[in-house]
A and B are shown apart, each in its own frame.
Chain A
């Protein structure tokens, strides 16, 4: 079982819809990252959060440390939002300092 689980794996939405992608992790972490990957491989960091909520434009990320769960929301989705969204948990401390990635959510927003 992967330490970081994402759902759904695939998501198709109509332009303008509100989108939610979920991420859960099984052990304690120091930070949770949300990343965006477009075809061709380039990864862009969207958010890094260790508590509460962050907002950037139409993107909102929340995390609940007690429940070990995070969500990424996209409001008023647009076809240009189509990409793979990956959550990654950062484990820091002792001999371990690394990101553990979920398998990603492939989002397709149709016009």
Chain B
């Protein structure tokens, strides 16, 4: 399968714990995006990378959130000291270049913070 993959698919954690999610984009895609989707809402932009450079971050991305794409391939999204409000579906997408390019979405990681 050469689509976008995310791991894990589900994560249940206790409040205050740290969690890390991984996204593997389509191999030749330069752009990688992270989105968050809460129940009943459309996804919201969190951040994106052009190769290994993180070019934009949403105000939604508090200091507890950090994302990396160290080699311009896979990306990780870490949430420190999780809060119940962090419970959501975290979606990753990739595209070839960016301008007018179709974004391909991964299956998402559903996070539940107890």
Q: Which B residues are in CB contact (< 8 Å) with A76?
A: none
User: Are A33 and B103 CB-contacts (below 8 A) given A41-B110, A98-B33, A99-B33?
Assistant: yes
Q: Which B residues are in CB contact (< 8 Å) with A97?
A: 31, 48, 55-56, 98-99
Q: Which B residues are in CB contact (< 8 Å) with A99?
A: 33, 35, 43, 45, 103
Q: Which A residues are in CB contact (< 8 Å) with B31?
A: 97
Are the CB atoms of B107 and A98 closer together than 8 Å? no
Contact with A along B28-43 (1 / 0, CB 8 A): 0001010101001111
Q: How many residues of A contact B (CB 8 A)?
A: 27
Given the complex of chains A and B, what is the CA–CA distance between A41 and B63 in angstroms?
Answer: 26
A17 to chain B, nearest CB (A): 24
- Cβ of B65 < 8 Å from any Cβ of A? no
User: Are A48 and B100 CB-contacts (below 8 A) given A95-B56, A98-B33?
Assistant: yes
A94 to chain B, nearest CB (A): 10
Given the complex of chains A and B, what is the CA–CA distance between A43 and B3 in angstroms?
Answer: 12
* CB-contacts of B16-53 with A (<8 A): 31, 33, 35, 37, 40-45, 48
The closest CB in chain A to the CB of B98 belongs to A97
Q: Which A residues are in CB contact (< 8 Å) with B98?
A: 92, 97
Q: How many residues of B contact A (CB 8 A)?
A: 28
B47 to chain A, nearest CB (A): 9
Q: Which A residues are in CB contact (< 8 Å) with B40?
A: 103
A110 to chain B, nearest CB (A): 21
Are the CB atoms of B42 and A86 closer together than 8 Å? yes
A residues in contact (CB < 8 Å) with B: 4, 30-31, 33, 35, 40-45, 48, 50, 86, 88, 90, 92, 95-104
- Give me 28 A-to-B residue pairs in the complex whose CB atoms sit less than 8 angstroms apart, sorted by A's number: A4-B42, A31-B100, A33-B103, A41-B89, A41-B91, A42-B107, A43-B91, A43-B108, A45-B102, A45-B105, A50-B100, A86-B43, A88-B42, A88-B43, A90-B100, A92-B98, A95-B55, A95-B56, A97-B31, A97-B48, A97-B99, A98-B48, A99-B35, A99-B43, A99-B45, A101-B43, A101-B44, A103-B40
